[in-house]
A and B are shown apart, each in its own frame.
Chain A
Amino acid sequence: MDSNADAPLSAAEIRDLSDVAGTMIPADAALGVPGADDPVILDDIVRSVGRDLPRVREALAAITAKSGGAFARLDRDAREALINDYYMSGAAAAVALGRLIVGAYYRDDRVLLSLKLEARAPFPKGYTLEQGDWSLLDAVRQRPPLWRDDRKELAK
């Protein structure tokens, strides 16, 4: 194994990660949301790599190889096609990369607020759940038992 396998992502790898993240989830001015290459979100992504470091590194290397070493220079359509094709291959590294990026992206305050969510942890405030329409159960209450009574069946 490469002796540098456990080293943090290098500056070059972080640049590649930024290109990939920004392609996967780009900013959208109409929605008012940043892309996953936003500096705050990218910092969160890099901080959160943790145990996925080898797979993230493998994914970045695979994307670089598939793009002939020029991912950032491909046009947008080509970048998106490459990423979607790679992700749908189901490779564990691709899945880990996607999970890492959305994990950080969908906890960013700006993103959550754009989804009309509160930017907070679930605990301690929690949420409200409405009762719903219990009258719908009336039709079910009238049904005969569905379960088999073994005592009756085996006594026959």
Chain B
Amino acid sequence: MSSNERVDVLIIGSGASGAAVAWSLAETKMRILCLEQGDWMKSTDFPSNGRDWEARRYTDFDISPNRRGRGTDYPVNDDNSPMKIANFNGVGGGTVIYTAHWPRMHPSDFKVKSLDGVADDWPIDYWALGRFYDENDRMMGVSGLAGDPGVPPRNPPMPPIPLGKTGTHYARAMNRVGWHWWPSDTTIATTPYEGRAQCINLGHCTPGCAQGAKASTDITYWPLAIRAGVELRTRCRVREITTNEHGMAAGAIYYDADGNEHFQPAEVVIVACNGVGTPRLLLNSASARFPNGLANSSGLVGRNLMLHPWPMISGYVEETLDGGRAPITNLWSKQFYETDSSRGFVRGYTLQFNRGMGPANQAITSAAAGQLPWGRDHHRVYREMFEHRVGIGVACDDLPEEHNRVTLDPVLKDSNGIPAPRIDYAISENTRRMMEHGIARAEEVLTAAGAKRLFCSRTALNSPGHLLGTARMGSDPERSVVNEWGRCHDVRNLFIVDGSVFVTGGGVNPTSTIQAVALYIADQMKQRLANLFD
């Protein structure tokens, strides 16, 4: 095994959080290296360049690593979970294939124990993250509209995506029922922004944006971080973090593209591998000193996995709408976000209003729902559905439970022979009640919108890929893995900056908060450089 030159900071993972922390720390002029197991993506490779753009969502751009099966992916055993794991392994990580929906968590999400008597409070609050949310919005480039009474004040730097026919149809229905709605914040550029071209409505944004209008960290943070001196090394798959005789992280052992083993020594190691990849790495880093996995004296590494159950309710209206020729993200409603004990559950959810689908996905989805027959009736029914679809997602808060967890699969391994993660996850009773409430409200508003043929998928075909909570933040070393500024309680030069540190998950897409937390931790590190390991 070869040994590389020592670096000051080793970051493992180049996705949402790894990129943000690399950019933030670059101003320290430390020698910073990021190891990424995947490749750089090219916009010319994204599906919307070709006529097979819909089919590729189920092959090399599938959100499931198991189905996608690129050489840069690792398998995940998610057989014992009603929700399947989604991720992407490449520069930019999950931001390459996310929908770019950009809500922030609410202030109450950070204080659920104090406010609602459930789960735990975060050791930090929304307001501590405020300026990092704002900074991240500028870096990623957010489109939206200020003045939303449903969320704390924020000022997106670009105007919102147009309502379009679909949004206007939803808005009329929401005003009819008298519920809150607002155009969604999104990291899709609606004007030219920091070298990015503006959105030209290619269609669904999830499998990469050929126009470059969707913010992913390979085109936002990374070019700036690299220009500032950070080194990003691709096709480097980390097997384990090693420790020295003092119980400090010594560096990481990784495999290069040819399968050669290397040791990368570092003064500080930062893990940014997401809520599944991070516990997998820590558990794979067990040693005589850390027999239960690195940084796992609490036994909580891998536990409290939160995945955001996300029922999807759809229907069809008579009016012809936007179809799939615009970003899927459209409106949100915060009407049912905050706790109301009369509903029979605590915490709440966001209603997310989507646009339609491309022609093939319309057929796939409606056939799977049993609404589109095969045979002579196929064309008639299809033409009543295509470009008439309305759909609402119920983004449910998912409180932490220790039995929901990531462990190492005893059999399954990746192409380098590294044990793969196994997921054991069940939806809680509180969340089930929340889901049913949200489904009923979504049906109510779709009915007000004139929709027929309502259909609900309780665990959506494509689960959201929000991987949270498996190395939680806290001040008590017995009840948390990292402290209130991201440093592992057990290993004083080991930091975790991704969604693993979430104490609660909120009822929103988490990327905005993941990056705000990463920037917050980087800021804390910079403030403490002189005594970082004390």
* Complex interface bits, B89-124 against A, C-beta within 8 A gives 1, otherwise 0: 000000000000000001110110011000000000
Q: Mark B161-180, 1 if CB is under 8 A from A, else 0.
A: 11111011001100100001
Which of B110, B149, B362 lies in contact with A144, CB distance below 8 A? B149
Does A139 have its Cβ within 8 Å of any Cβ on chain B? yes
Residue B256 is within 8 A (CB to CB) of chain A in the complex: no
Cβ contact within 8 Å between A132 and B162: yes
Contacts of B165 in A (CB 8 A): 130, 132
Asked whether B51 lies within 8 Å of A121 as measured between CB atoms, the reply is yes
Question: What total of chain B residues lie within 8 Å of the partner, measured CB to CB?
Answer: 73
A48 touches B52 (CB 8 A): yes
- Flag whether A126 is at the interface (Cβ < 8 A): yes
Whether the pair A107, B182 counts as a contact (CB closer than 8 A) is no
Which residues from B are CB-within-8-Å of A14? none
Contact mask B346-389 → A, CB, 8 Å, 1/0? 00000000000011101110011010011110110001001000
How many Cβ-Cβ contacts under 8 Å join chain A to chain B? Answer: 191
How many angstroms between the C-alpha atoms of A112 and B164 in the bound complex?
22
A23 contacts the other chain (CB 8 A): yes
Interface pair B107/A149, CB less than 8 Å apart: yes
Given A136-B168, A146-B150, do A153 and B115 touch, yes or no (CB 8 Å)? yes
Partner among B127, B164, B210, B379 whose Cβ is within 8 Å of the Cβ of A130: B164
A26 x B378 contact (CB < 8 A): yes
Of chain B, the residue at the smallest CB distance from A96 is B58
Partner of A148, one of B53, B106, B125: B106
0/1 string, A107-125, CB within 8 A of B gives 1: 1000110010100111111
Q: Complex formed: what's the CA distance from A102 to B365 in Å?
A: 11
In the assembled complex, the Cα of A49 lies from the Cα of B95 at a distance in Å of 29
A33 close to B (CB within 8 Å): yes
Known: A80-B376, A127-B326, A130-B164. A146 touches B337 (CB 8 A): yes
Q: Of the candidates A31, A99, A129, which one forms a contact with B379 in the assembled complex, judged by CB atoms under 8 Å apart?
A: A31
Please tell me which one of the listed residues B50, B162, B370 contacts residue A129 in the complex, with CB atoms under 8 A apart.
Answer: B162
Interface residues of A in 41-63 (CB under 8 A from B): 48, 50-51
Asked if residues A106 and B360 are in contact (CB atoms below 8 Å), the reply is: yes
Does chain A have a CB within 8 A of B55? yes
The answer on a CB contact under 8 Å between B149 and A123 is: no
B108 and A150 contacting across the interface, CB-CB below 8 Å:
yes
- For the complex, is A143 an interface residue (Cβ under 8 Å from B)? yes
Task: Give bound CA distance, A28 to B182, whole Å.
Answer: 43
Given contacts A124-B210, A139-B175, whether A131 and B163 have CB atoms under 8 Å apart is yes
Question: B residues within 8 A CB of A8?
Answer: none
Residue of B nearest to A30 (CB): B379
> What's the least CB distance linking B115 to chain A, in Å?
6
Complex CA distance for A33 and B383, rounded to whole angstroms:
12
A102 near B69: Cβ-Cβ < 8 Å = no
A151 contacts the other chain (CB 8 A): yes
B457 within 8 A of A: no
Indicate whether B400 reaches chain A with its CB closer than 8 angstroms.
Answer: no
Give min CB distance, B244 to chain A, whole Å: 42
Stretch in contact with the other chain, from B32-40, B199-207, B419-427: B199-207
Contacts of B360 in A (CB 8 A): 102-103, 105-107
B152 in the interface, Cβ–Cβ < 8 Å? yes
List residues 140-172 of chain B with CB under 8 A from any CB of chain A: 145, 147, 149-152, 161-165, 167-168, 171-172
Say yes or no: is A88 at the interface (Cβ < 8 Å to chain B): yes
- List, in ascending order, chain B residues with CB within 8 A of A144's CB: 149
Chain B nearest CB from A104 CB (Å) reads 8
Q: A residues within 8 A CB of B201?
A: 126-129
The smallest C-beta distance from B6 to any residue of chain A, in angstroms, reads 42
| A-B interface, 4 closest residue pairs, ranked by CB to CB distance from nearest | A126-B200, A132-B163, A80-B375, A127-B325
Q: What are 15 A-B pairs with beta-carbon distances under 8 A?
A: A24-B374, A84-B373, A95-B368, A121-B53, A123-B211, A124-B200, A124-B211, A126-B201, A131-B164, A133-B163, A134-B163, A143-B149, A146-B335, A150-B110, A153-B115
- New A-B pairs, 12, CB < 8 Å, besides A102-B364, A149-B107: A25-B379, A88-B370, A98-B367, A115-B386, A127-B326, A130-B165, A131-B164, A132-B167, A147-B107, A147-B337, A148-B115, A150-B115
Q: Interface of A with B (CB < 8 Å)? A: 23-26, 28, 31, 33, 48, 50-51, 76, 79-80, 83-84, 87-88, 95, 98-99, 102-107, 111-112, 115, 117, 120-134, 136-137, 139-141, 143-151, 153-154
